[in-house]
Structure 1
Amino acid sequence: MTALLRLSGVTKTVRIPDAAPLTILDGVDLVVEPGERVSVVGRSGSGKSTLLNILGLLDSPSSGAFEFEGVPVERIGGRARDLRRGADVGFVFQQFNLLSGRTALENVMTPLLYATGRRFWRRRALATEMLERVGLGHRLDSLPEVLSGGEQQRVAIARALVRGPRLILADEPTGALDVETGASVIDLLEEVAAENDAALVVITHDPAVAARSEVRYRLDAGRLHAAAGVAA
């Protein structure tokens, strides 16, 4: 079976005026199989968000090889890359990235505007159902500005999951939530991932969240290592 994601020797460097280039990722090797649960832990500044952006086709490596379902990413053109990201990748951003001036329902419906067939015509019903699943059925018409941080996080999660993506990328998905709500959110991420045989990659500082993954890594100064208890 072809791996969903395969990174070999991936680096990411950023040029800084009047200074040596800054290395953010340094020789990362990573394989993510369809349906796999993966967690990555690391301190702030270790390169976790940069890695997530590369996995989600928002950024490109400076060097190394990156394949998405066996296809080298550098061979996927800009428009084709956008279409694949929209169809196959669901992002749960740490900063939520909700559209201001749009209701919770409108925010969750947004990815479905690019769907086709039945999903497009049922976009309101699908978005409503997903908001109900994250406990916000009573907040459909609320704007992000009047939602709490935890509620905004749940809207962001509903938006990421509404298209049934094959790859779910979550950046600190429980960071703004209490322990009980955070556990229910991880339950939902795992449930939707299982429904779609989707891979789930979670960036987290929470050891309890990381422990739920089948495969666990630690990112330290741009280098990815198997976490304790995980085969290298």
Structure 2
Amino acid sequence: MSLIRLEGVTKSVSLGDDQTLEILRGVDLTVDAGEHVSIVGRSGSGKSTLLNILGLIDSATTGGQWFDETDVGRLRAGRRDRLRGAEVGFIFQQFNLLQGRTALENVMTPLLYASGSAFWRRRSIATEMLEKVGLGHRIDSMPHRLSGGEQQRVAIARALVRRPRVILADEPTGALDIETGATVMRLLDDVTSADGAALVTITHDLAVAALAARHYTLDSGVLSASISRDLPVTA
């Protein structure tokens, strides 16, 4: 049973004067729990729009979208927001850490919106997650005191702290050197596999894309399957 399913998804916006910009064109995609899928595309190919739809931030213009067999298109805005908060974790290229907060406080932030024991145990849960990504000794460090790789690991811990079922990684190694980026991707794969989460990596980096079990390319809004040796060269 698929965790994520898109069928014939399109996204278009009106430019006025009866002109329409087609961003996504009939996208079909399924991702199972525990699976790592990569999507490669140039700037302007529609990657960000697809990420926002997968992350329940934006809605498709036409087509169907299901999350664990729930028809997303039938959900009210509030229900979508709650589903996103509980089940989707985002990892961004620029880390987006709160500069005035420690590593621990950054990772605790999503748990401020949790309920029950997760809220009351937020400090211990966040500490355990930082230990899981190898930063148990850095919990009191401010972001500017951390290396790029350490900041990205804090961002990963923050994305995973509520144990979401879907992880969306947007250019997760774009701000890192090659060696650190490879380490971060191995860590991300290990942690998400252990939790049985679906991982979708959206990138222009072919080395990062090749780490996934399945690979897709997005070109002018059209998503197509590819294999590692046939991944396109991107700018």
Q: Is the structural similarity TM-score above 0.5?
A: yes
Residue 143 of structure 1 deviates from its aligned partner by 3.6
- What residue in structure 1 maps to residue 80 of structure 2? 81
Residue 103 of structure 1 and its aligned partner are, at CA, apart by 2.4
| 1:167-218 CA-partner distances (Å, limit 9, x unpaired) | 1110011112222322221122112222221111001222222122111100
The residue aligned with 2:126 is 127
**Structure 2 counterpart SS, 1:66:** strand
CA distance in 1 between counterparts of 2:84 and 2:78 reads 10
Match of 1:31 in 2: 30
1:9 paired with 2:8, answer: yes
* Equivalent residue number for residue 56 of structure 2: 57
Rate the CA distance shift 1:140–1:17 in 2: closer, same or farther, 3 A: farther
Unpaired runs of 5+ in structure 1? none
Matched, 1:192 2:218: no
Give, as a single letter, the amino acid of the residue that structure 2 aligns with 1:164: R
Instruction: Show the counterpart of 2:168.
Output: 169
Tell me the matched-pair count: 229
Evaluate the alpha carbon distance shift between residue 229 and residue 97 of structure 1 in structure 2; reply closer, same or farther with a 3 A threshold: closer
Deviations 1:142-189 (A, max 9, x none): 444555544433222111011211111100111122223222211221
Give the whole-Å Cα distance in 2 for the aligned partners of 1:140 and 1:202. 27
Distance (Å, rounded) in 2 between the aligned partners of 1:18 and 1:101: 46
Give the unaligned 5+ runs of structure 2: 230-235
Identical counterparts, % of pairs: 66
TM-score w.r.t. length of structure 1: 0.89
Structure 1 window deviating more from structure 2 (193-202 vs 136-145): it is: 136-145
Q: Deviations over 1:31-65 (max 9, x none)?
A: 11121110001111111111111001011111111
TM-score, with structure 2 as normaliser: 0.88
Deviation (angstroms), 1:18? 4.7
Calculate the aligned-residue CA RMSD, in Å: 2.1
Cα distance 1:151–1:20, how it changes in 2: closer, same or farther (>3 A)?
A: farther
Alignment map for 1:77-226 (pairs within 5 Å)? 77-145=76-144, 147-226=146-225
